[in-house]
Amino acid sequence: MTLEKIQEIGMMMISKIGLAKSNYVESLSESREGNFERAKQLIQEADLLKIEAHTEHFGLIQLEASGNQLPFSLILMHAEDQLLTCEVFHKIALEHITLYTRIKKLEDVIIKD
């Protein structure tokens, strides 16, 4: 595989991961506002984007594991870093939905009484 092709895959990964991270961040705002269904929808959309990027990355890993030496690409390295960061955003987004749901339930009880 050529360096140009690896860079193309890296740029595609960066694009998909960037969109996914944006959705995860937007889900934080939606959950804070009590829009839990919208927050979950954003996470699902982000998950699909992340899977697409991960699939491309795994294809490169399979190539190298089968004995094909791939050229180094700083763009791909950046994409891999962004993929790891995206995982953190995913976990934080899920945790926020859980926390804000609990806060909302507690507020409903307190305000009722």
Q: Which of 54, 78, 90, 96 is catalytic?
A: 78
CATH class (in words) of the domain with range 3-112 = mainly alpha
Complete DSSP assignment for the chain: --HHHHHHHHHHHHHHHHHHHHHHHHHHHHHHTT-HHHHHHHHHHHHHHHHHHHHHHHHHHHHHHTT-PPPP-HHHHHHHHHHHHHHHHHHHHHHHHHHHHHHHHHHHHHHH-
Please provide the average confidence, as pLDDT, over all residues in the chain: 96
Query: pTM for this structure?
Result: 0.91
The answer to whether 57 is a known catalytic residue is: no
Percent of the chain at pLDDT above 90?
Answer: 97
Q: Residue 64's pLDDT band (boundaries 50, 70, 90)?
A: very high
The structural domains of the chain, with segments of one domain joined by +, span 3-112
pLDDT score for 83: 97
Question: What is the pLDDT at residue 112?
Answer: 79
Residues 81-110: tens digit of each pLDDT: 999 999 999 999 999 999 999 999 999 999
Confirm whether residue 47 is marked as ligand binding: no
pLDDT in tens, 21-56: 999 999 999 999 999 999 999 999 999 999 999 999
pLDDT (average), residues 64-71: 96
Residue 113 has pLDDT above 70, yes or no: no
